């Protein structure tokens, strides 16, 4: 947990084994420069610190011991990102005024297309609004 999270390039983050069973941390990046690892965590409470050097949305993490356990980490070069809540809402705070290209991804569409984009203008003292509609492929 969490199923989807975000970090900045070169930002260190910890992965913790929260139960008394052997797990392993196996990120499977596709971008050259991001290192694939396969690290055991045999002890409850064990923490492993990781980071990625290159931007990559999304890096899949899996546990080879328990194949139903997996998660995704978005690695971005700047601090302006968010993961949506259950209703699909998100807030990105402390964005300096300016014009930006906002990009949205969904796990089920990420392999099909690179994400949807939208121009957003941020003005001092005003909230900027962006609405995306992602079409999920037929199953």
Average pLDDT over residues 53-71: 95
For 90-139, the pLDDT digits (tens) are 999 999 999 999 998 888 776 555 678 899 999 999 999 999 887 776 76
For 63-94, the pLDDT digits (tens) are 999 999 999 999 999 999 999 998 889 999 99
The pLDDT score that the predictor gives to residue 113 is: 58
Structure token digits, residue 85: 């809540």
128 neighbors 121 (Cβ within 8 angstroms) = yes
Average pLDDT over residues 5-22: 96
Structure token digits, residue 126: 């005003």
Same domain for 130 and 112? Answer: yes
Same domain for 111 and 72? Answer: no
Q: Is 139 contained in some domain?
A: no
In this prediction the pTM is: 0.88
Same domain for 33 and 101? Answer: no
- Return the DSSP state at 121: E
Average pLDDT over residues 33-40: 96
Same domain for 68 and 116? Answer: no
Q: Is 74 contained in some domain?
A: yes
Same domain for 72 and 88? Answer: no
Same domain for 12 and 50? Answer: yes
For residue 97, what are the domain limits?
Answer: 84-134
- Mention every residue, 6+ apart, whose C-beta is less than 8 A from residue 117: 101, 102, 103, 104
Pick the last residue of a domain from 52, 79, 106. Answer: 79
Nearest CA to 81 out of 99, 94, 68 is that of 94
Same domain for 6 and 33? Answer: yes
Average pLDDT over residues 3-24: 96
């Amino acid at each position: 947990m969490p199923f989807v999270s975000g970090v900045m390039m070169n930002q260190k983050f910890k992965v913790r084994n929260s139960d008394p069973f052997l797990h392993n941390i196996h990120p499977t990046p596709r971008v050259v420069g991001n290192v694939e690892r396969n690290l055991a965590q045999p002890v409850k409470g064990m923490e492993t610190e990781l980071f990625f050097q290159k931007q990559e949305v999304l890096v899949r993490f899996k546990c080879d011991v328990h194949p139903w356990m997996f998660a995704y980490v978005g690695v971005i070069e700047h601090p302006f990102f968010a993961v949506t809540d259950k209703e699909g809402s998100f807030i990105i705070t402390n964005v300096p005024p300016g014009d930006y290209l906002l990009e949205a991804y969904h796990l089920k569409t990420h392999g099909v297309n690179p994400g949807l984009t939208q121009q957003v203008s941020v003005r001092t003292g005003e909230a900027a609004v962006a609405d995306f509609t992602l079409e999920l492929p037929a199953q």
